[in-house]
């Protein structure tokens, strides 16, 4: 004798829908609409009676975190041992009742297309590659056919950062000897390309890139001559932050050298990065969190999931006693449609439970920011909502929450903890925020070392090793103290 759990096709569908992202779920719904004639999308303004029990709970209302509304919701994937799935959704569904099933989420607070801030071009325009941008400028420049051939070859050798990857000698070897092209011709065409936008394009090294940008500045720009000399002759000293040698060789005082360096730092060392070559990617939030009368409300995004229902006209054609092929097909499609709607409802109810618990646990983050983030692991949410950790992992993957502080993936709110001197715990996300704040407020002439940051954290009761500080600093993209040093 033994016990085992059978994964029915309906249960597999519910689990699959649970882990889909918003875009994947919309595609799944569209495929279901195209393959199942019993399913239809409820358009805006549709009004119909619904006597099905599921319709009473179809309208999801915003959830207040003080009184979570998930205590008496429909069973989800984790409530499998009690057999309620089979009781609520039998294999043979009755057909002599109303079939206008619908699942509808709550209203969204996202901007609509009628808002003044809605920018259609930023949501529909495709990115432009750097090469196409340069070729467009080349078509406007008058030159001979040979020079144009050289220019096209040079543009192909410019990388995404805006630098020329190949040497002029290597480019010369790539041409047919019968064209009788000389090295001076290639260099002359390169100088013409270096006049294109963005400024600094086509440079062979960092010094030339910065010098090209300085040459395009107005002649009356303060400290322009000194900046040109700096990037031409002493770019290595500048990279090594040897300010004493720079002041001695350029015969400048500390304040004068600081102004020259500020001018150089205003330039772009990677001019090609200004041209966006990829299409912009946008995130559609699954959950919206807003504050109303000192209470945080959680609601599903209506625009993320279309509202579905069973087509009442087609459902009325199903006859109970008829065993013909057509009636059997319609009966099966009707059953699949109801399963799909119920699986979709189960997914959204589970998402609401998890999001509500996350907001309740991370209320400090919503009020005060990253520094108030509390430690949170999957087990904490799983225990609070009565589900397995694997289910929480599925729900929080590729699901996003829209908050007054921005849009975050649900996994962002989970972080490990570090012990404090008082016996408490501090989130690693909060520690990263504190490190970022300390570095932003440091004396740039004497930046804080990792050991010093660890000491400052310890003074606040947070026990963090120097290696841990270095790991958090690198994850934030903050350079070491030797590279953060600035001339004041």
| Domain boundary assignment for the chain | 131-274, 287-414, 418-476
For the purposes of burial, counting CB atoms within 10 Å of the CB of 234, is it exposed (0-12), middle (13-18) or buried (19 or more)?
middle
Percent of the chain predicted with pLDDT > 70:
78
116 pLDDT above the threshold of 60: no
Of the two residues 192 and 486, the one the predictor is more confident about is 192
Number of Cβ within 10 Å of residue 333's Cβ equals 20
309 pLDDT above the threshold of 80: yes
Q: How far lies 331's CA from each of 315, 334, 462, in Å?
A: 8, 5, 63
Q: What is the pLDDT of residues 440-459, one digit of tens each?
A: 888 877 888 888 888 888 88
Range with lowest mean pLDDT among 245-249, 260-264, 308-312, 443-447: 443-447
Range with lowest mean pLDDT among 96-105, 132-141, 221-230, 283-292: 96-105
For residue 443 the two structure tokens come to 């004396």
Angle, vertex CA 463, rays to CA 462 and CA 467, nearest 5 = 120
List Cβ neighbours of 128 (8 Å cut-off, separation of 6 or more): 275, 276, 277
Per-residue model confidence (pLDDT) at position 391: 85
Tell me the whole-structure pTM to 2 decimals.
Answer: 0.59
Nearest alpha-carbon partner for 59 in 285, 287, 302: 302
CATH topology of domain 418-476: Arc Repressor Mutant, subunit A (1.10.10)
SS (H, E, C) 17-63: HHHCCHHHHHHHHHHHHHHCCCEEECCCCCCCCCCCHHHHHCECCCE
Range with lowest mean pLDDT among 90-99, 294-303, 471-480: 90-99
Per-residue model confidence (pLDDT) at position 447: 84
82 pLDDT above the threshold of 60: no
300 pLDDT above the threshold of 70: yes
Per-residue model confidence (pLDDT) at position 84: 46
Q: What is the pLDDT of residues 228-251, one digit of tens each?
A: 998 888 888 888 778 888 888 888
pLDDT band at 71 (very low <50, low <70, confident <90, very high): very low
């Amino acid at each position: 004798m033994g016990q085992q759990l059978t994964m029915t096709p309906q249960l597999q569908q519910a689990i699959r829908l649970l882990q889909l992202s918003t875009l994947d779920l919309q595609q799944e719904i569209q495929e279901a609409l195209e393959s199942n004639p019993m399913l239809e999308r409820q358009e805006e303004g549709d009004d119909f009676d619904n006597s099905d029990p599921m319709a009473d709970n179809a309208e999801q209302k915003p959830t207040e975190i003080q009184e979570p509304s998930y205590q008496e919701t429909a069973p989800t994937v984790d409530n499998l041992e009690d057999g309620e799935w089979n009781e609520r959704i039998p294999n043979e569904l009755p057909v002599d009742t109303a079939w206008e099933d619908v699942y509808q989420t709550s209203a969204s607070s996202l901007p609509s297309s009628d808002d003044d801030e809605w920018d259609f071009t930023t949501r529909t325009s495709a990115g432009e590659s750097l090469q196409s941008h340069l070729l467009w400028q080349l078509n406007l420049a008058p030159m001979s056919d040979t020079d144009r051939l050289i220019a096209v070859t040079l543009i192909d050798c410019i990388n995404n950062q805006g630098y020329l990857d190949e040497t002029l000698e290597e480019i010369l070897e790539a041409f047919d000897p019968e064209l009788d092209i000389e090295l001076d011709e290639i260099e002359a065409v390169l100088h013409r390309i270096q006049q294109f936008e963005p400024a600094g394009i086509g440079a062979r090294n960092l010094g030339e890139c910065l010098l090209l940008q300085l040459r395009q500045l107005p002649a009356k720009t303060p400290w322009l001559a000194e900046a040109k000399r700096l990037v031409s002759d002493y770019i290595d000293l500048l990279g090594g932050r040897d300010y004493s040698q720079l002041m001695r060789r350029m015969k400048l005082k500390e304040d004068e050298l600081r102004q020259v360096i500020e001018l150089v730092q205003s330039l772009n060392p990677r001019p090609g990065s200004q041209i966006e070559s990829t299409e912009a990617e946008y995130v559609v939030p699954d959950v919206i969190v807003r504050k109303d009368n000192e209470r945080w409300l959680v609601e599903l995004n209506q625009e993320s999931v279309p509202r579905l229902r069973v087509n009442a006209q087609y459902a009325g054609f199903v006859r109970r006693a008829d065993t013909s092929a057509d009636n059997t097909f319609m009966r099966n499609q009707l059953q699949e449609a109801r399963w799909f709607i119920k699986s979709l409802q189960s997914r959204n109810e589970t998402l609401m439970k998890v999001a509500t618990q996350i907001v309740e646990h991370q209320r400090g983050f919503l009020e005060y920011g990253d520094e108030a983030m509390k430690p949170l692991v999957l087990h904490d949410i799983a225990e609070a909502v009565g589900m397995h950790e694997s289910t929480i992992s599925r729900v929080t993957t590729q699901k996003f929450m829209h908050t007054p502080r921005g849009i975050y993936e649900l996994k962002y709110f989970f972080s490990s903890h570090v012990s404090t001197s008082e016996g408490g715990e501090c989130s690693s996300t909060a520690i990263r925020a504190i490190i970022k704040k300390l570095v932003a407020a440091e004396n740039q002439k004497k930046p804080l070392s990792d050991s010093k940051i660890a000491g400052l954290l310890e003074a606040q009761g947070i026990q963090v090793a120097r290696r841990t500080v270095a790991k958090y600093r690198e994850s934030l993209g903050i350079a070491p103290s030797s590279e953060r040093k600035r001339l004041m």
